[in-house]
Amino acid sequence: MSIMTQVVPTIRSRRLPSAIYFQSDVVARTALARCARMQRASFETSDAGRLAGENVFVLADEQLLIKHLKQLRAPNVRVIALSEQRFRDARVDGVVYAYLPPETPASLLERMFDNAADHMHLVLTRREASDKLAEANTEIHGLNQIGAALTAERDPRQLLNLILTKCREITRADAGSIYLVKENEVQDDVRGGQDGGRRNKPKFLRFMLAQNDSVHVPFGEAVLPVNEESIAGYVAQNGSVVMIEDAYAMESWVPYSINKRFDQEFGYRTKSILAVAMKNPKDEIVGVVQLINAKRNWRARLCAQEDMDGEVLSFSTRQMEIVSSLASQAAVAYENSQHYENIHRLFEGFVKASISAIEQRDPSASGHSFRVTNLTIALAEEVNRDKNFFREVEFSRQQMKEIRYASLLHDFGKVAVREQVLTKARKLYPEQMEVVNHRFDLARCAARSANAERKLRCLIEEGHEAYAKKHAQFDSELETQLTELDCYVAIVHTSNLPSVQPEGTFDVLQEIARKTYPGRDGAECPLLTPEEVRLLSMRKGSLDASERAEVESHVVYSYNFLKQIPWTGDLRNVPEIARHHHEKLNGKGYPLNLSCEEIPLASRMMAIADVFDALAASDRPYKPSVSVDRALEILGEMARNGEIDPQLYALFVQNKVYELWKIDCFEY
């Protein structure tokens, strides 16, 4: 009866845990002895069914092979069968690495041993290579995701938090911090010199952010010098990578040290450290990423010394390379976010300067653009919260920013409107009214002069007694004429107001226009010209049709101006939103007479805010302000007449959006 002899070689050159099984006979025993003499492996033999070494079994026959199929299929097992024929059981046959005749010479058996061991080595090497390749692919994929996330984040504070979090994730670091190198500042040097009396202040580090998974740390920004006393300062000064296995057992020759006060105060233990410089494409150091305590398990918490001993590892060279690459990418992302923020501040300054330019031309409308923005944004937020009329509408943060800029700049086109038209408070311009007043003054002078002339003629021609009798009559006639002129002046001044005039007023204006006074050359001149009568006869407001068209053209000017700005994709609708804020749902608005469906929702919201502020704001030259309640009543009438959106008006009133009228301008 054949038996199974087990070989458990420890092949030093390969360090492979392996086992080679034989269906043994005399030849096999001779081969085993031969292998033992070569000292290439150590062997153990045993009787059937006896365990010999870890995961090694001695089997007597095919049935025992079947019994141990699971162990024989292990990746570190090879079965060589000395048999004239293959095993009948396909399962057993499937685990056999090779069949050899029972009379196989020992030299060939040795070669088969080598082949089996080489095969195991190749399989293990391939598996290790595959694992490394998979790990590298995972790292590349992770770095690509991190790069995309860094590129997408614009908020500098959020970006720093993202940078530190990703660096900790990729190294499984328990804690970490970020320091930023502040740019050189310039100060005057009273000693003067070749640099014109100016010298650079030393650089310094600003401690911007800290994270720790194991202990809660109250964070506060701090300032550190850029020198070799601290690890972060050393890295910021030299650009070198610092990788420490144990912060409490550093070499005596290193210039830097750690501050143990944190560990003592919070019961922590800083052990492994990795500090890497954040360098921009100009190779300038803009910050330092410092990671603490790499862990075996990312989710582990280091709450006791045993945790430190069992969980904390040293940072590897590979981790250092990845973090260095990520830190450089982070430096670029951070500088880009700073540039974006600077551009944002620059544009904000431009917008505010533009609004200031508008309001300087019309001081009575001071603050109008900001108040309209407040109301429009507040109404948009109510639309987002509404689950009735606008449950399918939700403005994103970027859309809110779009609405904000459109609201702030909706009246910019007024810079193209003549200032005298823009600020026209009465039907006649001040200089026109001055001319009218001057005519009435001349008419009064002419009346007095004519009256004095009649008195003198009467005195000369009729004598003193007749003059004395008619003197009172002359004075009464003059008084009647002057009173009539004063009455006419009052009517003209009343008609000059932009309010609606009573019936019959305009007929009186025609009558006044027929009155004349003697001019300088003796010709009769009218008290009012036809143009003045036309302007004073306007039923409502202070502008005639051409002037109103000029003021309304500010919307077109605003649109043409805003279209020239190269808005980013998320702000591309700013010109259109601003363009339609004077459109009415009934099609009677301007400049395009659009109907409800054609007017953007953002423009409809701005229309309500614009009208409310125009009504309730402090007195304008052409109208007095009204109370908030009265302004809401007028808006209600407009909603019923189909001029403004009734659903938006309902939100505006019910949710008291108007109460946010004069708060500081919303930022998005």
Amino acid at 311: E
The predicted pLDDT at position 66 comes to 74
CB neighbour burial string for 284-312, b if at least 16 within 10 angstroms, e if fewer? ebbbbbbbbbbbeeeebebeeeebbeebb
**What radius of gyration, in Å, describes the C-alpha atoms of the chain?**
48
The predicted pLDDT at position 458 comes to 86
How many Å apart are CA 662 and CA 667, to the nearest integer? 14
Tokens of 91: 């399962």
pLDDT digit string (tens) for 251-275?
888 888 888 888 888 888 899 999 9
Coil vs helix vs strand at 217: coil
The predicted pLDDT at position 557 comes to 92
Where are the domains positioned within the chain?
3-125, 153-185+201-340, 362-420+549-660, 430-541
The topology under which CATH files domain 153-185+201-340 is Beta-Lactamase (3.30.450)
Is the model's pLDDT at 117 over the cut of 80? no
From 187, 174, 205, 192, select the one nearest 278 (Cα to Cα): 205
90 or 32, higher pLDDT: 90
CA atoms within 13 A on the CB side of 596: 11
DSSP assigned state of 210: E
The predicted pLDDT at position 103 comes to 76
661 or 584, higher pLDDT: 584
* DSSP line for 341-378: HHHHHHHHHHHHHHHHHHHHH-GGGTTHHHHHHHHHHH
CB neighbour burial string for 319-335, b if at least 16 within 10 angstroms, e if fewer? bbebbbebbbbbbbbbb
Give me the chain's average pLDDT, please: 80
Coil vs helix vs strand at 15: coil
Whether the bond into 591 is cis, omega within 30 of 0: yes
Report residue 30's pLDDT band, with 50, 70 and 90 as the boundaries: very low
* Range ranked top by mean pLDDT from 335-339, 551-555, 651-655: 651-655
pLDDT digit string (tens) for 134-147?
877 777 777 777 77
pLDDT digit string (tens) for 470-526?
888 888 888 999 999 999 999 999 888 887 656 556 788 889 999 888 877 778 889
Tokens of 636: 């209600």
How many Å apart are CA 152 and CA 169, to the nearest integer? 19
| 3-125 matches 153-185+201-340 in fold | no
CB neighbours (10 Å) of residue 600?
18
In this structure, are residues 91 and 37 in contact, taking their beta carbons and an 8 Å threshold? no
Report residue 663's pLDDT band, with 50, 70 and 90 as the boundaries: low
From 576, 642, 631, 635, select the one nearest 603 (Cα to Cα): 576
pLDDT digit string (tens) for 516-567?
888 777 788 899 999 999 999 888 888 888 988 988 899 999 999 999 999 9
The predicted pLDDT at position 14 comes to 36
The topology under which CATH files domain 3-125 is Rossmann fold (3.40.50)
The predicted pLDDT at position 577 comes to 95
* DSSP line for 72-134: HTSTTEEEEEE-SS--SSHHHHHHEEEEE-TT--HHHHHHHHHHHHHHHHHHHHHHHHHHHHH
* Intra-chain end-to-end CA distance of the chain, in Å: 89
Going by CATH, does the domain composed of 362-420+549-660 fall within 3.40.1280.10?
no
The predicted pLDDT at position 200 comes to 53
The predicted pLDDT at position 407 comes to 93
How many Å apart are CA 9 and CA 80, to the nearest integer? 14
The predicted pLDDT at position 202 comes to 67
Report the 3 state secondary structure along 25-84.
CHHHHHHHHHHHHCCCCCCCCCCCCCECCCCCECCCCHHHHHHCHHHHCCCCEEEEEECC
The predicted pLDDT at position 215 comes to 86
How many Å apart are CA 663 and CA 665, to the nearest integer? 6
How many Å apart are CA 6 and CA 10, to the nearest integer? 13
Tokens of 347: 């544009």
Element (H, E) at 512: helix 505-514
Element (H, E) at 269: none
Pairing of strands 198-200, 204-212: unpaired
Amino acid at 528: L
From 243, 238, 157, select the one nearest 203 (Cα to Cα): 238
Report residue 460's pLDDT band, with 50, 70 and 90 as the boundaries: confident
The predicted pLDDT at position 25 comes to 41
* Range ranked top by mean pLDDT from 297-306, 460-469, 649-658: 649-658
pTM: 0.67
The predicted pLDDT at position 340 comes to 83
pLDDT digit string (tens) for 400-418?
999 999 999 999 888 888 8
Tokens of 312: 């904390």
The predicted pLDDT at position 63 comes to 67
